[in-house]
Chain A
């Protein structure tokens, strides 16, 4: 089973850029059929899908964040990263990396089979 681990600063100043990396082990980010995803969960609220990247394809982002978010894949290091610019207190959340894989026998359908443990990021001066 693939293992995912988030890393990055736990405190970011308002208006600055949040950067997180997800290190993938016991698996590889290379090749299609895997969506390397970011989600976040503000304190006391439901999770929110941020976006994903697939090897060789353009990333797909939540429109509510699209102007500020970038997700990139590094196949040489088996990790993927999240950048979120111009952060405010509303971006304070636990950030999760996760993987979606194909549903067997269902063309174009995916499901989340692995999640990282999560990384709390607080936006505060």
Chain B
């Protein structure tokens, strides 16, 4: 199975900041990577798929980049509702595998 290493595991930031979360795959996965946001007690919500395609309805302050093994989620101008846990998912091959998560907290 493809292993996905996500970093950092936690991150403190302030409203208005720009933050970056990274995922590294154990082998090349082209651009088959998605990003999810999860709030406590809720299902994950899709932000980005195919590494850089913004899901409908997701604010444009979220962006994704990368291909091959290294991927980045960037959130510009952090808003209060963005403080949550973020996961990446490789959907290049089966079994799909998730990163370990990044908990974004208010500084």
Contacts and interface: CB of A to CB of B under 8 A. Distances in A.
Majority SS of interface residues in chain B? loop
Given A103-B50, A106-B50, A117 B43 contact: yes
B99 interface: yes
Nearest to B100: A46
Given A46-B100, A63-B95, A96-B43, 5 more contacts: A103-B49, A103-B50, A109-B91, A111-B91, A112-B46
A49 B50 contact: no
A111 B50 contact: yes
Nearest to B43: A115
B50 A115 contact: no
Interface of B: 1, 32, 34, 42-46, 49-50, 53, 55, 87, 89, 91, 94-101
Interface size class of A (residues with CB under 8 A): 20 to 34
A110 B43 contact: no
A34 B55 CA distance: 17
A67 to B, nearest CB: 14
